[in-house]
Amino acid sequence: MSKNKFTRSLAGVAMIATVGAGLLVAAPAKATAPAVTLSIWTFGDVIEPALLRAYKVIHPEVTIALKKADLDPSMTNLTTSCSAYVQSHRIGNPPDIAAVEVSYSGYWRAYPQCFTDMRTLSTSSANANAHDLVASSSNIAEGLSANDIKNNYLAWRWAQGTGYNDSVIGIPTDVGGLEVAYRTDLFKKAGLPTDRAKVSALWPTWDKFIEVGKKYMTKVSKADKKKGVGFIDNVGTIYAASMNQGTYKYYENNGTDAGKLVYKVQGMAPVYDPKTKAQKIDPKTKKPMFKKGWVLNPNILKAWDRTIAADNAGIGTRIGQYTSDWNVGMTKGTFATILAPAWMMDYIKGQAPTTKGKWNIASLPGGGGNQGGTQLTIPKWSAHTQEAWDFINWYLAPQQQLTVFKTYGLFPSTKSIYNDPSLTGFKDPFFSNAPVGSIYLTGIQKLKPIFEGKLQRAIDQAIGAGLGRVSAKKQKSLQSQIQVMIDLDKATK
Amino acid sequence: MADLAVKGRSRQKAAPSPWKQKKRKPSKPGSGVASLNGKWAYVFIAPFIAMFLIFGLFPVVFSTQLAFYKYDPLSLEQTWSWVGLDNFKDILADETFWISLGNTFEIWALSTFPQMIMAIGFAAILRSRFLRGKTFWRTILLVPNITSVIAVAIIFGQLFGRDFGMINTAIGFFGLEHIDFIENSFASHVAVATMITWRWVGYNSLIFLASMLAIPDELYESASLDGAGAWKQFTNVTLPGLKNTITFVLIVGTIGGLQVYAEPLTLAGDNGGGSSHQLSTLTMYLYNESFINARYGYGATIGILITIIVLIISLINFVVTRRVASEDK
């Protein structure tokens, strides 16, 4: 008994001590906001660490927890999380902010029930004095909804984050843009001009680009060819670049959630001979045979033919991007050009630091280009909607995007700073002091919004596989197109 | 296996350890732990049963249901739409499914049989009287098995690189054409099979070694008295003694072979398994359809077909094993 009593009194003392300590701590804490952990689901380098450090200074009480995955798995995670919410209102461990890549934006547009409509949100005073705490940061006014900040952003990028009923489900981060990064030393060796204006003038169209590639390849020694040296890293990238220069891809906006699929159209389809695996020739007229049937839409065919033409010309190395071969090839000079979005410049710097000063940037054949881009969304089941909205408004505000551009090379999606001299005049010594700011700006402004449909990512992958089959000589172009249509019919069923 | 476990337990009950007997006080009727035996048993097995219901039974029932539906978990109105046997019909007409099935078996064959020969060879070397530092070699053999699959796949992916991979560099040194270990269907299967073999050959050779050590030395002695050389001893004494172990390794290898996922995925770099699905295996195809293409019903149907295939193979195994066992008697 006596032992029991002793224990109990000890517990009492401990309790008093704890409560006392709690009071002592609680008193000064009253002044600041309660601690919040913002959970952000992201991939790649969408959220940059330098800005997170700045945000920590402005908001010591906000802890940002990044959960990174690869692009496709991150979308699978979001699907799982949202289905748990939609099906049974289970919350679990929700993301407060989720990054959605542009190739999936059409998919998520079909499910607005997963996202908070940002028109209904309103910024608090949390970042009203951010500039006082971090000099490079801008202040964010109180009471801003998505409608109030819309005009800051590039129209076609903004549209990628809007749902059907005009709801706003995501705010754009950066713009990819797309230009040609080329190696001046290798161009010089091949007897090509090295000056960026002259290089850009070499290839106003894709056909001319392929011509230049052929010319380059004639200067490559036989031994180097055997080692896999080429003009461009991967001709497959021409497909995506060419598609983005059109006005539509696989879907048409018909006012429905999913959009209308237009990857195939009725037309004169080539008659395919399963024996020779090529187009049948009419024995009488000696001309290729056609009959009425389904064909891939003209935009796809145009991009497809360009890609195959480049492949047949033998100007590509067929190294897959983001593979170990690619990283090695970048340093070794296995290829002289890469179709590079703005965000890839940072990747090149990281992977091939020894090539500093050997790169330059020329404009993309066929006009402006884009590749990639991300929206930050707030899932409906987020536990900290207000804090998430405050963070997004600060993080994607023009001033902060400018900082990211200067630090990491991601091109801002906020058009309000496109006249800023620190952007237009920005030069990168790694890329022979190319004025990357103004180069990418010119390309970006030429683009028109493209309707991104629900299954765009899957369709892109099926077509990419089709091009790969032709390139690996497994199938003839026509045969591969027919299989692509079969695959797409299945994928979109 | 389950039978063995039960037998083992009942034997323990029949003959409690002397230590237990000494400590136990004579229990009064109606009190103490002994009388609660029946009820406590349920408490002890409850965690397993709960886990099994959640992670074992429920997914099976759920995916069986899925196979007959088109399922859209994000949709507010039309989550489940009945499609009957459509998923099954579509799959049987789906070229990719058959490609994946063929790939799975090709990779299985390429990894299992060479591996078995190598493992028996290693085991024979390890058993040799002249080998020094036996424990060291045995440990070394097991190291590949404890490394992470993904790490192995990444390293081998670099070895098999088309342009700068070490293997192709070696091939190029002899003036031969580089082999595309990703696009070329057969070469890619060889690459995956190599990874699997590298990972499992040591493990299997230890199993063979254990079984070899169980072969009585007298058999070898009498064989050598009869004038049998080392090779004759191996084929006439060692191999027959390993018959059961070979069957066991084959069964385990088959189960593993049907689940090959990480190696081809990492080598192909995408869930589709390359441009003509040359690296797509059954499990990869299941994952790709379910979670990348969000066709859950279709994916579940693939799962059911995998189950059916495993059942057929198990049946074959069962028949073969029984025959092997009856020959021994």
Strands (E), A305-444: 335-340, 359-362, 373-377, 411-412
* Mean pLDDT confidence for A52-59: 91
Residues of A with Cβ-Cβ distance to B267 under 8 angstroms:
none
ipTM over 0.85: no
Which conformational region is residue A447 in: left (phi greater than 0), alpha (psi within -120 to 50 degrees), or beta?
beta
A60 belongs to a structural domain:
yes
Regarding whether A360 and A407 lie in a shared domain, the answer is: no
Residues of A with Cβ-Cβ distance to B79 under 8 angstroms:
87
Strand order in A36-43's β-sheet?
A62-69, A36-43, A97-101, A373-377, A171-175, A411-412
Q: What is the pLDDT of residues A196-230, one digit of tens each?
A: 999 999 999 999 999 999 999 999 988 888 778 99
Q: Which of A70, A108, A307, A324 to mutate to test the interface with B (most CBs of B within 10 A)?
A: A324
CB contact under 8 A, A475 and B276: yes
B270 belongs to a structural domain:
yes
Residues of B with Cβ-Cβ distance to A464 under 8 angstroms:
275
A23 belongs to a structural domain:
no
Regarding whether A195 and A167 lie in a shared domain, the answer is: no
Domain of residue B250: give its range. 89-328
CB contact under 8 A, B276 and A474: yes
DSSP code at position A334: S
Residues of B with Cβ-Cβ distance to A467 under 8 angstroms:
275
Nearest to A340 by CA among A212, A232, A459, A471: A232
Residues of B with Cβ-Cβ distance to A72 under 8 angstroms:
271, 292
CB contact under 8 A, B76 and A318: no
Is the Cβ of B74 closer than 8 Å to some Cβ of chain A?
A: yes
pLDDT surpassing 70 at residue A10: no
Decide: A395 and A145 in contact? Cβ < 8 Å: no
Regarding whether A119 and A209 lie in a shared domain, the answer is: no
Is the Cβ of B162 closer than 8 Å to some Cβ of chain A?
A: yes
pLDDT surpassing 60 at residue B30: no
B143 belongs to a structural domain:
yes
B40 belongs to a structural domain:
no
Q: Count Cβ–Cβ pairs < 8 Å, chain A vs chain B.
A: 83
Nearest to B161 among A82, A113, A324 (CB): A324
Token pair 């580089």 is found at B178
B316 belongs to a structural domain:
yes
A192 belongs to a structural domain:
yes
Regarding whether A140 and A116 lie in a shared domain, the answer is: yes
Phi, psi (rounded to 5 degrees) for A115:
-125, 150
Domain of residue A242: give its range. 179-370+449-491
Regarding whether A60 and A133 lie in a shared domain, the answer is: yes
DSSP code at position A268: E
Is the Cβ of B86 closer than 8 Å to some Cβ of chain A?
A: no
- pTM for the complete prediction? 0.76
Nearest to A387 by CA among A121, A168, A151, A147: A121
A4 belongs to a structural domain:
no
Q: How far is the C-alpha of A186 from the C-alpha of A180, rounded, in Å? A: 14
A6 belongs to a structural domain:
no
Is the Cβ of B92 closer than 8 Å to some Cβ of chain A?
A: no
**CATH classification at residue B262:** 1.10.3720.10
Regarding whether A113 and A204 lie in a shared domain, the answer is: no
**CATH classification at residue A250:** 3.40.190.10
* Mean pLDDT confidence for A355-382: 90
Q: Which residues contact A158 (CB under 8 A, 6 or more apart)?
A: A150, A172, A413
Q: How far is the C-alpha of A202 from the C-alpha of B44, rounded, in Å? A: 78
Total domain count for chain A? 2
Regarding whether A212 and A357 lie in a shared domain, the answer is: yes
Regarding whether A68 and A213 lie in a shared domain, the answer is: no
Q: How far is the C-alpha of A53 from the C-alpha of A56, rounded, in Å? A: 5
DSSP code at position A315: -
Is the Cβ of A226 closer than 8 Å to some Cβ of chain B?
A: yes
Q: What is the pLDDT of residues B180-200, one digit of tens each?
A: 888 888 999 999 999 999 999
Q: What is the pLDDT of residues A147-158, one digit of tens each?
A: 999 999 998 889
Q: Which of A86, A457, A476 to mutate to test the interface with B (most CBs of B within 10 A)?
A: A86
A24 belongs to a structural domain:
no
Chain A contacts in chain B segment 1-30 (CB below 8 A): none
Q: How far is the C-alpha of B60 from the C-alpha of B55, rounded, in Å? A: 9
Residue B171 corresponds to which tokens in the numbers above?
């091939």
Residues of A with Cβ-Cβ distance to B164 under 8 angstroms:
324-325, 328-329, 332
Amino acid letter at A446? K
Q: How far is the C-alpha of A173 from the C-alpha of A394, rounded, in Å? A: 12
A136 belongs to a structural domain:
yes
Q: What is the mean pLDDT of chain A?
A: 86
Residues of A with Cβ-Cβ distance to B276 under 8 angstroms:
465, 468-469, 472, 474-475
> Among the residues of A254-358, which ranges form H helices?
298-312, 324-332, 344-351
Residue B36 has what pLDDT?
59
Residues of B with Cβ-Cβ distance to A472 under 8 angstroms:
180, 183-184, 275-276
Regarding whether A357 and A344 lie in a shared domain, the answer is: yes
Residue B28 has what pLDDT?
53
Regarding whether A378 and A365 lie in a shared domain, the answer is: no
Tell me the CA end-to-end span of chain B in Å, nearest whole number: 21
B202 belongs to a structural domain:
yes
Nearest to A428 by CA among A411, A451, A414, A445: A411
Strands (E), B57-101: 69-71, 80-82
Q: How confident is the model at residue A173 (pLDDT cuts 50, 70, 90)?
A: very high
Residue A2 has what pLDDT?
41
B32 belongs to a structural domain:
no
Chain B contacts in chain A segment 308-337 (CB below 8 A): 317-320, 323-325, 328-329, 332, 334
CB contact under 8 A, A472 and B163: no
A9 belongs to a structural domain:
no
Q: How confident is the model at residue B328 (pLDDT cuts 50, 70, 90)?
A: low
> Among the residues of A190-315, which ranges form H helices?
196-202, 206-218, 222-226, 236-244, 298-312
Regarding whether A396 and A413 lie in a shared domain, the answer is: yes
CB contact under 8 A, A458 and B271: no
Regarding whether A277 and A238 lie in a shared domain, the answer is: yes
Residue B169, classified by CB atoms within 10 Å of its CB into exposed (0-12), middle (13-18) or buried (19+), is middle
